[in-house]
Amino acid sequence: MKFVEWLSRFGLSDRVVIVIAAVVYAAMVLLVLWFWSEPPAPFRYTEI
Amino acid sequence: MIELWHIGVVVLLVVIGNTAPAAMRPWVPAAGGVVVLAAIAPVTALLLVVLTAIVLTAISPRGLTTSGLVVVIGSFLVYRIATALEMPVDSVAVIGAAFAVPRCVHVIVDVAAGKLARPRPAAVIQYLWFWPTIVIGPIHRFDEHQREQRRARWDPQLSARGIERVVAGLFAVLVVANVVTSQWLATAIEALPDQRAGLRSVLESVEYGLTLYASFAGWSSVAIGLAALLGHRVVENFNHPFIQPNIAAFWRGWHVSLTRFATDYVYRPIAAHFRSHLAAVFATMAAIAIWHELSGRYLAWAAYHALGLAVHRRFAVWRGTDAAAEQSIFTTVISTVVTFVFVMLGFTFTRSANLGAAADAFLLMLEGGW
């Protein structure tokens, strides 16, 4: 996974990398669920 | 809005795609294309059936290449003209046609030119109906698809990367584009006082560009991630377009699969025929504009970028390749900022309702109020 690979470049231990990645991914998923029903941005790339 | 049953269908397609018997596996993503289009845009499903039939006829040994190309490109142009004339055709749910047409053109032209060995009809159907890319691209190539299909198998590493891409893509679309830029940033820009109308006009273009990028790159990421879950590596569509040192590099990072298509099938033939970079670059940008929409604002946006590319080319020739390689950090930062501003100002054309509104927006910027 690219984010994990990127984090690993900073010389952190594997355990720290996994914890940081898990927190970031969990936050992203929670935010996605939180804003799930917001109206879409006004672009129609799926309709061209 | 994405509904729960959409996710259910996607999960089911991924599971079936990875558990089907080996002999059936190439057909499962194509069957998924039928399911996806039939569910969300039945008109497009019918359209793609017709396009597939045209491609198969055009690449048949009878050699109806020209007729096939005329029908494929012509029908797309007719659709664009009808939309431009505000005919009721726009109300018909046509989804992903702009991604299907370049794929059809690519197969017809490359088979006729001998770059592709005449494929089996089954292979063409599996390529055109591949469900992860059927709605939003990227415009991947037939030979790439064949290669990935041959090696496709459950790969835990690629699948983990696929899930990461899907999550990152959904985050870009649902959080960044739908909320952060198009709501929060747009509201903050709107709140600027009238004395700062020039700045507001510039920032509106920046907000449009950022929202467009987050939205389109996000959906592309979701498509690439879903393909990875089926063991397919699909061409990237964006490569950090807003941190590029010049306009040519921007186009190598912005909607890469479309730029690659336009370069191969518009730029190269015209440049070879007329021996003119300028004519080829203007024709290429015009094709990219019409791919989006047939309108004055998109053609003006295309001319603006073509001019930028032409000026950049002159400048690069004048400076020489050695000078470009020896560019310092300072000049790289300056050129990156200049490119960013140029690109964002260009979005003024496409964010405006028409060419007149774009001219008004540029006038606001020029009149001051910063």
Instruction: Give me the residues of B, 79-98, that contact A with CB < 8 A.
Output: 93-98
Q: Select from B226, B93, B179, B207 the least CA-distant residue to A37.
A: B179
What pLDDT score was predicted for residue B60? 92
B176-to-A41, B134, B145, B168, B349 alpha-carbon distances in Å: 10, 24, 31, 10, 23
B273 Cα to chain A: minimum distance (Å): 30
3-class secondary structure, B217:
helix
CB contact under 8 A, B216 and A45: yes
Domain housing A13: 2-47
User: pLDDT tens, B62-81?
Assistant: 878 999 999 999 999 998 89
H-helix or E-strand containing A16?
helix A14-34
Q: Helix B121-128 and helix B97-112: axis angle, to 10°?
A: 150
Report the number of distinct structural domains present in chain A.
1
pLDDT for the residue B325: 67
Going from N- to C-terminal start, the domains of chain B cover: 4-151, 156-229, 241-366
Place B90 in a pLDDT band, splitting at 50, 70 and 90: low
- Say if CB B309 and CB B247 are below 8 A apart: yes
Chain A residues with beta carbon closer than 8 angstroms to that of B170: 32
Would an 8 Å CB–CB cutoff place A1 in contact with chain B? yes
ipTM of model: 0.89
In tens, the pLDDT along A18-31 reads: 999 999 999 999 99
Kindly report whether the global pTM for this prediction surpasses the value 0.90: yes
User: For residue A47, is pLDDT > 70?
Assistant: no
Contact residues for B184 (Cβ-Cβ < 8 A; gap 6+): none
Cis check for the bond before B21: say yes or no (omega within 30 of 0): no
